[in-house]
Structure 1
Amino acid sequence: MTIKTLLLAVAAAGLAAPAMAQTQADWTLPRAGDWNVIGRVTDVAPTADDAIVTAAGADSGLHVDVSDSIMPTLGFTYFLTDHLAVEAILGTTRHEIRAQGGDTDVAVHKTWVLPPVVTLQYRPLTQGTISPYVGAGVNAMVFHSGDNKNGFDVDLDDGFGYALQAGADIGLKGPWSVNVDVKRVWFNTDANVNDGALRSDVHLDPWVVSVGIGRRF
């Protein structure tokens, strides 16, 4: 599965929403004080394409490529009011970092990253069986369990970034719903290779695309 596949799934769920709304009229939109817990399949797709330079700042002719990672994640949404909610997502993904350029395409590092994102959502609707939302918030990137490759020693800096979000909960039956969600996260990290002999200011800036099933409490 790729980010394109997940985007198609998001589109399909959106097209199916009117039919779901007609057949699952017993589902109601969450209200102030409700929790919605969502199990998702999530594609974290970095967009990094940054230059790798030498310690003196000279262009090495190489750039950074970071792989996608598809993993299960959990989302927890608490409704502060009927229109405002706070969401936190939890999960960890594994990515391969490669140096590419000319005839070179070599893996230099594999790492797990814990990318929690917390957003404040605005939900305009209080009636119906579809609850669209937009949100904005912050994220952290914590790299762990790294595995160096092919004789390279890579160090990545943890840090913080920010995120925008759009999605919808589509009512099924009782407390259950389908969730589709797209986030764009902006985050950059300093990558040092072989004690700074090579380095890169890597703008990961991933798309985070998810589909899942939620339950309201």
Structure 2
Amino acid sequence: MSRVPQKLSAAILLAPALLAASVTAQAYETGDVILRAGAVAVDPQENSGKVKLDGTATDLEVGVDSNVQLGLTGTFMLSDKLGLGLLAATPFKHTINLNGVGELAEIKHLPPTLTLQYFPLGSGSALQPYVGAGLNYTTFFSEDFKSGPSAGGFNDLSLDDSWGLALEAGVDYMLTDNIVVNAAVWYADIDTEANFKVGDIPGKVSVDIDPYVYMVGLGYKF
């Protein structure tokens, strides 16, 4: 017997068992709530404008480092294929770097993100990949310049909050009827303007932070 018929015969024999397993899973249905927790990393892909002092552009630009925190996500299933998703986390802390100077400041932010999620496989599959699109709101706080020589007289730092588009892709896998393992990635359009002073001279710089956000964790379906 050729290999193709052998594989076809094996698939036919396995199909009832696989079908039974998928039907038993009954992963997601209308009204289900899935809560997930895990490690979430924000990896900025920043594009900095030139630092301006008293309205005059300099050759200085800024950079933003990555940070990892506890991530929390939730999904409310509007149907067996559509869900409303929310991303939250403990506050992220980032170091702001100034080219040619070094570490200059530290900031914190929270990036709650609301998305409409699409689950293509429906309720009969234990494997639940999904994609989503929606809005990100990022609020900045605890903006402080570091002390020491690199601070160079910088003071009075504040960053504008941001609204922007968010995209996501992820996958859940049902380990049991209620426990899931999850991996997900988001892209968020985060643009801000930082205002500050150097001595009494006003300064500002616009930065497109635009991070990728990665998360792995466990969840529970209610």
- TM-score under structure 1 length normalisation: 0.82
Q: Quick check: which has more Rg, 1 or 2?
A: 2
Aligned-pair CA distance for 1:186:
0.5
2:52 matched residue in structure 1: 54
Aligned-pair CA distance for 1:192:
1.5
**Over 6 Å off, 4+ runs:** none
Q: Which moved more, 1:169-178 or 1:33-42?
A: 169-178
Does residue 40 (structure 1) correspond to residue 45 (structure 2)? The answer is no
1:62 match: secondary structure: coil
2:154 match: secondary structure: coil
Distance 2:201 2:86 in 1: 35
Query: Any gaps of 5 or more consecutive residues in structure 2?
Result: 1-17
- TM-score under structure 2 length normalisation: 0.81
Query: Any gaps of 5 or more consecutive residues in structure 1?
Result: 1-20
Go from structure 1 to structure 2 and tell me whether the alpha carbon gap of 1:143 and 1:196 turns closer, same or farther (over 3 Å shift).
farther
Q: Could you say what the CA RMSD is over the residues aligned between the two structures, in angstroms? A: 2.0
Aligned-pair CA distance for 1:62:
1.6
Aligned-pair CA distance for 1:181:
0.4
Aligned-pair CA distance for 1:193:
2.4
1:140 matched residue in structure 2: 137
- Within a 5 Å distance, the mapping from 1:46-85 to structure 2 comes to 46-55=44-53, 57-85=55-83
1:173 matched residue in structure 2: 176
1:210 matched residue in structure 2: 215
Q: Percent identity?
A: 33
Aligned length: 193
Distance 2:221 2:61 in 1: 45
Aligned-pair CA distance for 1:29:
1.4
Q: Which moved more, 1:171-180 or 1:145-154?
A: 145-154
Distance 1:107 1:152 in 2: 12
Distance 1:57 1:38 in 2: 46
